[in-house]
Structure 1
Amino acid sequence: MHQLEWIGIIRHGESVGNVAAATAEEEGADLIDIAERDADVPLSDTGEKQAEAVAGWLEALPDDERPDVVVVSPYVRTKQTAEIALKGLDIPTVRDERLRDRELGVLDLHTVHGIQSKFPEESKRRQRLGKFYYRPPGGESWADVLLRIRSLLRDVAEDHPEQRVLFFAHDAVVSLFRYVLEGLDEEELMSSAKESPIANCSISSWRWSDKGWANELYNDVRHLEQDESAHPTAEEGVDAPAV
């Protein structure tokens, strides 16, 4: 069985959708005011600065510690993050739709208040099933996202054996990478997601050994804290409300 040497994953920088979602929640609105479809939401000015801080982190790595290949979600905010972070570095990059964010179907762009107001039965169903297994109509559960992540990791290991691979993706995807690589159960995953929301442009990484995957960094933002213009933010994705 083929195996990677190292896996890293970075959440995209703050997007204008993250900002709009936070504003809508604070104001008690039913809907998040975003003109673009979710896949086309770009980075905010802060998100661009955060991506530049990731570029500094990558540039500071020794040559033998840099990624051999990068795999990126096709969403605009994720592509922009990767483009800024990798500028000037000669690292092969591919896009893979299996890294896209979790899809919410009919609940897309609704705030927590909006879901409770317009879809009260769905809110109750989610509470009964739990966030891990709840699938909104036309959308995905976290367990659904896991199916594509497992498929992706298997294919990437097959294509890049014993290499260092860096992924650029979304908050739920980062949490589910940890679930797969560290062998968490549902309770451990949900507890981690609640206690440590994945920050924009945070870095998580694991290294392979004969004992399995060993975590090196998780949700690390020290590179952001060193730059006032790239301060850490951790707004949830606009398609992943905490209903």
Structure 2
Amino acid sequence: MDTSRPALLVLVRHAESARNQAKKGSVYFADTAARQVVRGVPDHLIDLTADGHKQAEQTGHAIRERFGAFDHVFTSGYARTEQTAEGILAAYTTAERAGMHVKADLFIRERDPGFAYDMTTAEAEAAFPWLNEYWQTFGGFMARPPGGESLADVTGRVHTFLNTLARDHAGQKILIVTHGGTLRCFRFLLEGWTYAQAQKWPRGQTPANCGITTYSDNGSRLELVDYNRVYWTVGSAADGI
């Protein structure tokens, strides 16, 4: 039997974060009032909202019922993924949690957003008047935000992470709490997407907060079982990182 991959891979996008709430799905902040609550907070320290904590807890009960315990749980190490993982794992018993190894891995962190991280739309357009044309030319997978990473860059480190899973965690059940952009990179690699498929999420397929994507070993590869299943009933499925 070929055991060169995990038996089960469950990917969860983090629950609603303070930036999700402030940006309301936009690339930049609408105005200075919108960004005030999170201005100056680096991406890795952005917390979940109150609704986000509830989303994680509700999702945890569904995950436990559907999948049981995992061998390993990985987060990106960002506050919002660690808090989401904590909310999910709260559904498990003390004994079950003791058997699950939780670890942060920087290879599955979100795309570095670059210099425009805290900018409003007006500020970004003034600072980088060429950016929209550049983005239209290279597309949402290859283009790099000024000072940041492209999703193609992120895919390189996700590839390294998946190789590590194959080497160290073959045959195991793995839970990963990560980010929307990083999730697109996982799908690119695991499902053999073309560059054209990876340019943007198809209409209606942007990953929801705490959306669950599942892959199972079919004997030759990790096969997609379902994408972006949501089990919580509080808050809103915000776009963005």
TM-score, length basis structure 2: 0.87
Residues 1-243 of structure 1: pairs in structure 2 closer than 5 A: 2-22=4-24, 28-29=30-31, 32-33=35-36, 34-35=38-39, 36-61=41-66, 63=68, 66-87=69-90, 88=93, 89-90=96-97, 91-221=100-230, 223-224=231-232, 227=233, 230-237=234-241
Whether the 8 Å contact between 1:2 and 1:158 is mirrored in structure 2 is yes
**Percent identical residues:** 28
- The amino acid that maps onto 1:107 is A
What CA deviation, in whole Å up to 9, does each residue of 1:53-78 have, x standing for no partner? 11111231364xx3211111110011
Report deviation, 1:2.
Answer: 2.5
When residues 67 and 102 of structure 1 are mapped into structure 2, their CA distance, relative to the original with a 3 A threshold, is same
* SS of residue paired to 2:77: coil
In structure 1, stretches of 5+ residues that fail to align are 238-243
In structure 2, stretches of 5+ residues that fail to align are none
Whether the 8 Å contact between 1:133 and 1:142 is mirrored in structure 2 is yes
Query: Which portions of structure 1, spanning 4 or more consecutive aligned residues, are displaced by more than 4 angstroms?
Result: 23-27
Whether the 8 Å contact between 1:24 and 1:111 is mirrored in structure 2 is no
User: 1:241 is matched with which residue?
Assistant: none
Q: Tell me whether 167-176 or 188-197 shows the greater mean CA deviation.
A: 188-197
User: 1:240 is matched with which residue?
Assistant: none
* SS of residue paired to 1:219: strand
* SS of residue paired to 2:24: helix
Report deviation, 1:179.
Answer: 1.1
When residues 196 and 114 of structure 1 are mapped into structure 2, their CA distance, relative to the original with a 3 A threshold, is farther
Q: Tell me whether 21-30 or 93-102 shows the greater mean CA deviation.
A: 21-30
How many pairs does the alignment contain? 230
Q: Tell me whether 212-221 or 19-28 shows the greater mean CA deviation.
A: 19-28
TM-score, length basis structure 1: 0.86
User: What is the aligned-residue RMSD (CA, Å)?
Assistant: 2.2
* SS of residue paired to 1:132: helix
Q: 1: distance between equivalents of 2:183 and 2:236? A: 16
Whether the 8 Å contact between 2:29 and 2:121 is mirrored in structure 1 is no
Q: Tell me whether 24-33 or 7-16 shows the greater mean CA deviation.
A: 24-33
